[in-house]
Amino acid sequence: MSKINDEGFLELSGVNHNVMHDELNAEKFPILQGLSPLSLRVINQSARVMKIGEGVEMMHAGDTPHDLYFISKGLFRVARLHDGQMQNIAELGVGQLFGEYGALRGKTRFASVYAAEPSTVIRVDLNAVQQVLEADDELKQRIYALMQARLLKSFIFGHDAFGHISDASRDIIAESLKIREAKRDDIIFQAGDAATCFYIILSGEAEICVGDEKNQVILEIRRDNEVLGEARAENGTKYAYTVRAANSLDLLVLDKAAMNLIHRADPSVMPKLNQLMSEEMRQFSVKMKAVLTK
């Protein structure tokens, strides 16, 4: 009777679990191309099939890291809160995966994923995924590239300067720009360094520091979507403050090549970015003045 009740509960919840073996292979999931037989065995042994009811939210923005999910049937949509409403960013179908951000970065979700129709996924335990990624750098790089493109697409979708652009322009930008990762206490740049680019925070927190090493003051902490590197000295050639990672950071790199690419994709973006940077610089100047007068 207990077994029947358990199965009934699973059906009512919209999720059914069954063990699955040898279903994860390069034929069904191209991203696994070239994976060694041992690595395939590791992920298949930790895999479990999940039948998902339509509308089930598999991941919610802000969730802690989950396992990695491979879609074997059906359709999922990735959605993010924008202007007070959940809006779809992307669709994921058979042969694709989700959950890579948590697996690779160990950070909370930046978007939600839900089943757009009755679907089936193969869930792989996070520990097994990390074991395989440590042994197979090529697979890790492929999943990294996928993660970064999705992270950028999600960021572009929700950022004030990019939100209005076409899907085609959004795809071009998301596939071409660079992300820099930093660990806690990493120095992104120091006051007096040559100012070669700007950064926008995709996730994490950054400390804005002024003063010398012995008397350094944290002027502010910047977070998602905020700019780094806008305040400069010596006719704009050097950074005016130091930036330290307060925790794990994902940064969009805006060097000259990136800004040229953005301009070609949609000329209306750069004036909006410049406006945001000018506002950041104005606020920094006010705070800096307050520190200097004390």
Separation of CA 83 from chain center: 20
pLDDT at 294: 63
Question: What pLDDT is recorded for position 88?
Answer: 87
Share of the chain above pLDDT 70, in %: 90
What would the pLDDT profile of 230-262 be if each residue is shown by its tens digit?
999 999 899 999 999 999 899 999 999 999 999
Q: Are 124 and 70 in contact (CB under 8 A)?
A: yes
**pLDDT tens by residue, 53-105:** 999 999 888 777 679 999 999 999 999 876 667 788 889 999 999 999 888 88
CB neighbourhood size of 69 (10 A): 23
Give φ, ψ of 142 to 5 degrees: -65, -45
Whether 171-292 and 2-143 are alike in CATH topology: the answer is yes
In CATH, the architecture of 2-143 is: Sandwich (2.60)
Task: Give the angle 34-114-47 at the CA atoms, nearest 5°.
Answer: 40
CA nearest to 112, candidates 60, 71, 62: 60
Query: Cα dist. 90→34, 39, 62, 96, 289 in Å?
Result: 27, 29, 18, 12, 44
For residues 69 and 33, the answer to whether their CB atoms sit within 8 Å is no
- 171-292 placed in CATH 2.60.120.10: yes
pLDDT score of 83: 67
Model confidence, pTM: 0.78
Residue ranges, the chain, pLDDT below 70: 1-21, 65, 82-84, 292-294
Location of structure tokens 């073996």:
21
Domain locations in the chain? 2-143, 171-292
In 3D space, the residue among 273, 247, 245, 248 whose CA is nearest the CA of residue 260 turns out to be: 273
